[in-house]
Amino acid sequence: MLSIQCAEGRPALAITSRRRGNSVRTTIFSVGLFAFWAALCSLNAVLMKVVMDSGLSATALATMRAWIVTAVLLAVTGLVNRKLLAVRKADLLGLAAYGVVGLGLTSATYVWAISEIPIGVALVLQYLAPVIVTLWARIVWKRRIHRITWLGNAICLAGLALTAEPGLGGRLTIGGICLALVSGLCFAASFLFAESGLRARHPLTQVTWGYVFGSAAWIVLTSSRPMPWHAFAPEVRLPSALGAERMPTWLLVAVIATLGSAGASLVLAYGVRLIGAPRAGVLGMLEPVAGISIGWAVLGQTLSPLQLVGAGVALFGVVAAELPHLRINRAADATQELPLRV
């Protein structure tokens, strides 16, 4: 709910967020939101795999995506409300950490990982992140974590472990595995930084400034490498499951940056703001299942019966972790004002 509050005689924009942590409606909406996010991320991974298989390096893809996604977010935020771009100097360090570690390194290490190992395996290793987030919330933030959430985490990991056998197609390398693990650590940091920042900032502000810092750091690190502009000119043939159409490489990279990066990051930010980092991390485990499914359907990666069972177990873990939140608790259905500095 959008409301106007007055502070020091001046109008101020504020978002009224009605948190229903235990309501059926919020639970259903949250599951749908994260299912949509998982589909965006998984399709994005498939498109990145197609582009890299055509000859574009992971570094060139990540650099061009950084430029495009930053420009798009700055333009969109400016059109929605230019005041959302205003932040305090005291907030810059937290936004820089969110952008460089949570967005930049998560994305870069993941792109490098899927260039070495199958998408499904990379996602399984990356999704140790929800466990890290839950542990951090319990130990550092001293937050009470429902025992079924712990059980859901364990069930999800067991299911994802079953899907990680080499039968997914492609080779496994030590470098790729290490990159996926680093991506998991950075991904966990993105949830934690996001929840901390979104307590007082609009998701557009958080994600836009995050990409500004993350992209700037990435471009500086890769500035010594010349951009292979010629590699963006040829056309790429999409998999037959996507119509087998031919698209210019630059156009496919633009789709990856806008929908799969900017769009997915905004959806995730709204989700974390709605239900918190630990619960969002568990729901985020829908992505590995979606990634494995789309990898099988679009890229022709094979799935064994054991992997199908694993995907089902992981989905059961997500459902189990959400069960405590299906109880309606009207006393907890309180309105929380989240002021935005605009």
158 versus 9: the higher-pLDDT residue is 158
What pLDDT sits at residue 340?
A: 39
Mean pLDDT on 279-289: 85
Digit-coded pLDDT (tens) for 93-135: 999 999 999 888 887 788 788 778 876 677 778 888 888 999 9
Q: Give the burial string for 17-54 (b: 16+ CB within 10 Å, else e).
A: eebbbbbeebbeebbebbbbbbbbbbbbbbbbbbbbee
Q: Is the pLDDT of residue 145 over 50?
A: yes
Residue 336 is predicted with a pLDDT of 41
Q: How confident is the model at residue 230 (pLDDT cuts 50, 70, 90)?
A: confident
Mean pLDDT in residue range 235-244? 73
Residue 306 has pLDDT above 70, yes or no: yes
What pLDDT score was predicted for residue 95?
A: 93
Q: Is residue 25 pLDDT above 60, yes or no?
A: yes
φ, ψ of residue 169 in degrees (nearest 5)? 100, 140
Report yes or no: 275 and 24 within 8 Å, Cβ to Cβ. no
Lowest mean pLDDT among 258-267, 298-307, 332-341: 332-341
CA 237 to chain centre: 26
Q: What is the pLDDT of residue 327?
A: 59
pLDDT for 18 equals 41
Share of the chain above pLDDT 90, in %: 22
Q: Is the pLDDT of residue 8 over 80?
A: no
Q: How confident is the model at residue 149 (pLDDT cuts 50, 70, 90)?
A: confident
Which among 17-21, 23-27, 252-256, 287-291 has the top mean pLDDT?
Answer: 252-256
Cβ atoms of 307 and 167 within 8 Å: the answer is: yes
Instruction: Name the pLDDT band for 338 (thresholds 50, 70, 90).
Output: very low
Split at pLDDT 50, 70, 90, the class of 284 is: confident
Q: What is the mean pLDDT of residues 268-275?
A: 90
pLDDT bucket at 24, cuts 50 / 70 / 90: confident
Whether the model clears a pTM of 0.75, i.e. scores above it, the answer is yes
Average pLDDT, rounded, for the chain? 80
Structure confidence by residue, pLDDT tens digits, 167-223: 445 577 888 889 989 999 998 999 999 998 888 889 999 999 999 999 898 888 888
pLDDT at residue 11, rounded to an integer: 38
